[in-house]
Amino acid sequence: MKKRFYQLALAGILLTGASPLWATHHKSIQMPAEELKWVPNPAKPEEISMAVTWGDPAKGAHGAFHKFKAGTVVENHSHSSTFKGVIVAGTIVTGPVDSPKTLGPGSFFMDAKNENHITKCEGTTDCIMYIESSGKFDLKLAKKSKK
């Protein structure tokens, strides 16, 4: 029952929150979990992998699962495009450095373009999130202030 809830929540969020991104699709897509092709994520290839579901993250709008090894931290950073996502597994801590939120499976988040935030996979289990972006994937680390 819990798994079904998360599937319905993900579908609802994607249908309402990311529908403008879907306008670029010209065919239906069905992708069983066992057919996902996981590759190293350019941001942290040793700790994060991604499985693209549509589009091309190197060129523009896309959707992809991102898997973080337990304990992975991506320090204060931003992206050139807005990201909308849903936590699928694990516990993610994300948001502005001074006020991040802890999100579990079924939780939604949106990282506005050029908005600094942190992302951390908390706990002892790997974290998986599904993200759709309005543009190409990039990661820009924030400059640390000199004190």
Q: How far apart are CA 73 and CA 96, in angstroms?
A: 14
Two tokens, residue 34: 């066992």
Residue 146, pLDDT score: 58
67 located within any domain: yes
28 located within any domain: no
Tens digit of pLDDT at every position of the chain (147 positions): 556 544 544 544 454 444 455 455 568 989 999 999 999 998 899 999 999 999 999 999 999 999 999 999 999 999 999 999 999 999 999 999 999 999 999 999 999 999 999 999 999 999 999 999 999 999 998 887 555
Q: What is the CATH number of the domain that holds 49?
A: 2.60.120.10
Residue 15, pLDDT score: 44
- Least Cα distance to 134 among 63, 66, 65, 30 occurs for 63
Domain count, the chain: 1
63 located within any domain: yes
Residue 134, pLDDT score: 92
What φ, ψ does residue 47 adopt, rounded to 5°?
-120, -20
Residue 9, pLDDT score: 47
13 located within any domain: yes
Q: Which domain holds residue 119?
A: 2-23+36-141
Q: How far apart are CA 19 and CA 8, in angstroms?
A: 16
42 located within any domain: yes
Strand, coil or helix: 2? helix
Residue 26, pLDDT score: 66
134 located within any domain: yes
Render 8-74 in DSSP notation, one character per residue. HHHHHHHHHHSHHHHTT--S-----GGG---EE-TTSTTTEEEEEEEE-TTTS-EEEEEEEPTT-EE
30 located within any domain: no
